[in-house]
Homo-oligomer: A and B are copies of this chain.
Amino acid sequence: MTASLNLSRRLRRTPFTERAEACGVSGFTVVNHMLLPKAYRRSIEEDYWHLRQGVQLWDVACQRQVQVHGPDAARLVQWMTPRDLRGALPGQCLYVPLVDGRGGLVNDPVLLKLDSDLFWLSIADSDVLLWARGLALGAGLDVTITEPDVSPLAVQGPRALDLMVEVFGDGVRALKYFGFARFEFQHSHQVVARSGYSSQDGFEIYLDGGALGGALWDALWEAGQAFDVAPGCPNLIDRIEAGLLSYGNDMTLENNPFECGMARHLALDGSLECIGGDALRAIQREGARRRITGVTFGSDPCPACASPWPVTGDGPRGERIGQVTSAAYSPRLRRNVGLAMIERGFWDPGQGVSVHCPGGEGLTGELTALPFVGRS
């Protein structure tokens, strides 16, 4: 489901946008006031199959870094998340829910601990820069918070390792999932992490210095010819199957981490000073009122989910029990797959439901556990 996008400087181009255009990008979305390619020449199904066999370059520069640096940096970052960071080491990525005073999700970035007093928050779509600066200014913390000229480029797919070795050397083999290290590229030292927003193996290069964008893309593109490289982007089918949530789509400031399958990341024993701790402990005591689940429904491809679709139960009253927030047709499962926020009492796998897409009858479906499929 697409419309036309009127371009302006406010929708920032990335160091890779020119290359994406040269590769025939045919659709964008906007994340963090920046263009994110969302479609090239091939269909989402073709991209899905390719992602499971080749390697793709994704311009995910919109995953902006919020850099927190200074004497109070560790204190501020810990204050911002209910995840326990006391054991975190430099070279480690951590998925860190950020919440506000009521426990509502502000963002769900990946944290990179670069040094004991230097952190990057690699963010989803909300202005964490302003949130962090507001907190620091209000509390009088001694930190410098900036958005550096760092633009992630993702290399995803089963042949990502081969390609990365070709460009960055054998050292990348040693990277474990959610580990990062610095590697040389054209006399610069770039952070490379083994990570990415797909079900496949992959890497993210946190390109420091946008002027190198074309050179980095070209180096990967040329070396990638031996490994079935293609331009790509976060694949909706793949990420739903993998149970990867999207901030703004599947969760918002109105949701808390318990509703979003993040309970295992929370340290609520009271030993951390973190924003929203009391609110989250209250929710923990009472139990979440709703929860993200998977759902399969219908056998004809559904449209894109541009606003939440009501989900009703299959009981005699057919009452509303939740909503679908992301959905796509899975060519492997030959069913539509979706992520749904479902009320307590109804969220068990196997629950029969109807999904109400616009302009149609309710489609019969069933709730499922997440992920639909494990990481490959």
Q: Which of A127-135, A156-164, A193-201, A259-267 contacts B (4 or more CB under 8 A)?
A: A127-135
Q: Which residue of B lies closest to A13 (CB)?
A: B307
A326 CB, min distance to chain B CBs, angstroms: 7
A11 CB, min distance to chain B CBs, angstroms: 7
Interchain CB contact under 8 A, A11 and B30: yes
Interchain CB contact under 8 A, A304 and B127: no
In the assembled complex, A188 has its CB within 8 A of some CB on chain B: no
In the assembled complex, A53 has its CB within 8 A of some CB on chain B: no
A120 CB, min distance to chain B CBs, angstroms: 18
Question: In whole angstroms, how far apart are the Cα atoms of A33 and B249 in the complex?
Answer: 11
Question: Please, which residues of chain B bring their CB within 8 A of the CB of A325?
Answer: 9
Q: A106-B130, A131-B130, A138-B136 are in contact. Are A27 and B1 (CB under 8 A)?
A: no
Q: What is the total number of copies of this protein in its complex? A: 2
Q: A4-B26, A13-B306, A138-B138 are in contact. List 11 more A-B contacts (CB 8 A).
A: A2-B6, A3-B4, A4-B39, A5-B5, A8-B249, A11-B30, A11-B306, A33-B125, A101-B133, A129-B253, A138-B140
Interchain CB contact under 8 A, A29 and B3: no
Give A240-269 as 1s and 0s: 1 = Cβ < 8 Å from B's Cβ atoms: 000000111100010000000000000000
Q: A33-B248, A133-B100, A133-B101 are in contact. Are A27 and B10 (CB under 8 A)?
A: no
Question: In whole angstroms, how far apart are the Cα atoms of A136 and B137 in the complex?
Answer: 10
In the assembled complex, A139 has its CB within 8 A of some CB on chain B: yes
In the assembled complex, A351 has its CB within 8 A of some CB on chain B: no
In the assembled complex, A126 has its CB within 8 A of some CB on chain B: yes
Q: A130-B126, A130-B131, A131-B131 are in contact. Are A4 and B2 (CB under 8 A)?
A: yes
In the assembled complex, A283 has its CB within 8 A of some CB on chain B: no
Give A23-35 as 1s and 0s: 1 = Cβ < 8 Å from B's Cβ atoms: 0011111100100
Give A115-157 as 1s and 0s: 1 = Cβ < 8 Å from B's Cβ atoms: 0000000000111111111111111110000000000000000
Give A5-22 as 1s and 0s: 1 = Cβ < 8 Å from B's Cβ atoms: 111111111000000000
Question: In whole angstroms, how far apart are the Cα atoms of A298 and B215 in the complex?
Answer: 34
A30 CB, min distance to chain B CBs, angstroms: 4
